[in-house]
Every structure is written in structure tokens, then in C-alpha cells.
Amino acid sequence: MRAHLLLPLLLSTACAWEAGEGFAVLQPSLRAAYTPIAGRDAGDGYQRLSSDFQVRVMTARMRLERIELLGNAGASGPTTFDPSNPPPGYTICHNGHCDREDGALIPYDQVAAELAGGGAAATTVATLPVGELDLLAPETRELECQPDCELPRITVSSGRWTLTALRLEGTVRDGRAPPRFEGERPFRLELTQANPSAEPVAVLTAELDVPSDRANAPRVVMALGLELTPTVFDPVNWAAATPGPNGTVDLNASENAATRTRLLESFSELAPKVEVEREGR
């Protein structure tokens, strides 16, 4: 008789413990750098481009406002209901109901109907604020999570990197003979998002596959990386850019709009790198 009395109490305690515990814990870090390519060394700090122009970068700074990790609780997991295998968004199923992560008790038939109807749209799992980065003085920076590094049951499927400022300075020269222009030309680009509601300078994306569940080790050590190399300048026709009165190619100037657009398009094609290791708590 005593065992029968204790069983409901144990089940209730298990529900409360599961609902309050994250399925995984993020430990994110970031390293962003401008990295010359050994095979493109043209001397004097210059790097050869595929266009035969040569570029030397002397300033490379950006403001990476945030990295958003996105996921979809319905993107993976079972499509038919099995009480012994709770679907994403639920912690435990027993006694005719499943405990949802927000504490609600959902009947079996409603959970089964949700699975049959497909998953919800992608949602922001965590936001990682970053800030100013100097790509010529790279550092590994530990990141915080908003609202929390504890993740619900979900699969993190992508990352969205929002850049709100970019500053590039350097010089360019032509490696052809005869050259398309003589000597060295300084260049500069300085862009800033006008206000929070305006379009960002660039948005980069990275594909991920990081399940947050009971089947994988709970600590997610996530090393995020952004590597800017001379290849970002390959598509730019530097001979078409117009120098100003002081000889500097100002990519912010209206006459260089086409050159600026092509460089930003190339920049937006950068693919962030993500390395993930799973560890115990």
C-alpha cells in the first residue's frame, strides 16, 4: 500500500525536475581574422588576386552585432507519436499526457495531432552578442547567450551573423604588364548601419546540425570562426574604380557604387565556420 502511495509522488517529482533542466548547454566562442594565403604572396605585404590585381590590407575592422542560432523543434524527431519517445518540445509522457517544456500537460491525442500537422517555423534558439572586431589583431572571444545558454529540446539548424559596420583600408596595384593603371592606389570603405531598423551592412549564414536532446552529450562547445581572405577581393575590377583628388579610391563615393556593391556581394558570400564538440556537464 505504501508503494502505491509513493508512485504518484515520484512521477510528479520527475516531471518537475525534467521541465526545469535544459537539454543542452552552449559554450560558444568566436575568432575572426584576415588571413593571407601563402600561395598568393606578391611581396611587400601584397596578395595576388585572380584578376592579376594585388591588394595589401592595412585595416580590417567590423562590428558583428550578433549571431543568432536558429532551430526548429519540428525539424527532426518522430513524426508519429510514441509516449516512450517524447517529441521535441516535451519532456516526459505518462498517464495519458505529456509534460510540455512550459509546464502545460497536453493529452496524448493532442500531441499526436501536432506531430501529424508538421513542425513550427524556425525560431531563434539563442542570440550571441559580439561587438567590435579587429581582423588584423584576432583574438578568441568567449561569448554570452541571450536569454540563456541552456537550450530546450530542439535542433540548431543554422546561424545568422548580422554585421552593422565594416571598415577596410589598404592599397591596390596591378600585376600585369603593361599595367591597367600606374603605381599604387590607396582604397577605403567605411559603412555603418544607419539605424536599428535599417538594412545591416551584411548578413552571413552558416548551416548547422546541433541536436539538443537526451541522446547527445549535453555540453555543446561551439567554436565559431570568420576568416576573411584575399579571395573576397577577386571579383572587383579595380581599374574601373575612380580615384578622388587625393588619389584614394573612396568606395563610399557615388561614382564607385558599382565597385562597392560588387565587393559587398563578395563579402556576403563568406561562409562562417563552426566546430562543435560534445562534452558531459
* Together in a domain, 49 and 109: no
Whether residues 159 and 235 share a domain: the answer is: yes
Percent of the chain with pLDDT over 90: 64
Q: Which residues contact 264 (CB under 8 A, 6 or more apart)?
A: 191, 201, 202
Check the CA dihedral 254-256-262-266 and report its sign: negative
- pLDDT band, residue 74 (cuts 50/70/90): low
pTM listed for this prediction: 0.76
Asked if residue 16 belongs to a domain, the reply is no
Confidence of residue 75 (pLDDT cuts 50, 70, 90): very low
At residue 133, the pLDDT reads: 98
What angle (nearest 5°) sits at the alpha carbon of residue 31, between those of residues 29 and 36? 165
Is 11 a member of any domain?
A: no
Q: Which residues are within 8 A (CB) of 138 and not within 5 positions of it... i.e. 6 or more apart?
A: 31, 32, 33, 34
Is 219 strand, coil or helix? strand
Last-in-domain residue among 94, 118, 142: 118
Q: What is the pLDDT of residue 31?
A: 98
- 64-73, 119-128, 200-209: least confidently modelled range: 119-128
Q: What is the mean pLDDT of residues 93-114?
A: 77
Taking only the tens place, the pLDDT of each residue in 31-68 is 999 999 999 999 999 999 999 999 999 999 999 999 99
Residues 192 and 252 in one domain: yes
Q: Model confidence over 107-132: pLDDT tens digits?
A: 777 777 666 544 445 788 999 999 99
* pLDDT at residue 112 in the model: 74
Residue 221 lies in a domain: yes
- In a domain? residue 9: no
In a domain, 15, yes or no: no
> Using one digit for the tens of pLDDT, what is the confidence trace for 12-38?
333 333 444 579 999 999 999 999 999
**Does 192 share its domain with 242?**
yes
**154 and 203: one domain?**
yes
**Residue 207 has what pLDDT?**
87
Same domain, yes or no: 178 and 268: yes
**Per-residue model confidence as pLDDT tens digits over 231-264:** 999 999 999 999 999 999 999 999 999 999 999 9
Q: Are residues 61 and 85 in the same domain?
A: no
Domain end residue (candidates: 65, 98, 118): 118
Same domain, yes or no: 138 and 113: no
pLDDT of residue 19: 40
**pLDDT at res. 157:** 87
Q: Is residue 141 part of a domain?
A: yes
- In the three-class reduction of DSSP (H, G, I as helix; E, B as strand; rest coil), residue 109 is classed as helix
Domain edge (last residue) among 67, 93, 118: 118
Cα separation, 74 vs 144, in Å, equals 26
Q: Which residue(s) pair with 54 in the sheet?
A: 48, 173
Q: What nine digits make up the cell of 4? A: 502505491
- Residue 151 above 80 pLDDT? yes
User: Are 155 and 270 in a shared domain?
Assistant: yes
Amino acid 182: pLDDT: 95
Identity at 28, one-letter amino acid code: P
Q: Is the pLDDT of residue 76 over 60?
A: no
Q: Are 251 and 190 in the same domain?
A: yes
Residue 11 has pLDDT above 50, yes or no: no
pLDDT of residue 116: 55
What value does the mean pLDDT take over residues 197-201? Answer: 89
Domain that includes residue 84, residue range: 76-118
Domain tally, the chain: 2
Verify that 80 and 165 share a domain, yes or no: no
Calculate what percentage of the chain has a pLDDT beyond 70.
86
Q: Indicate whether 133 and 191 sit together in one domain.
A: yes
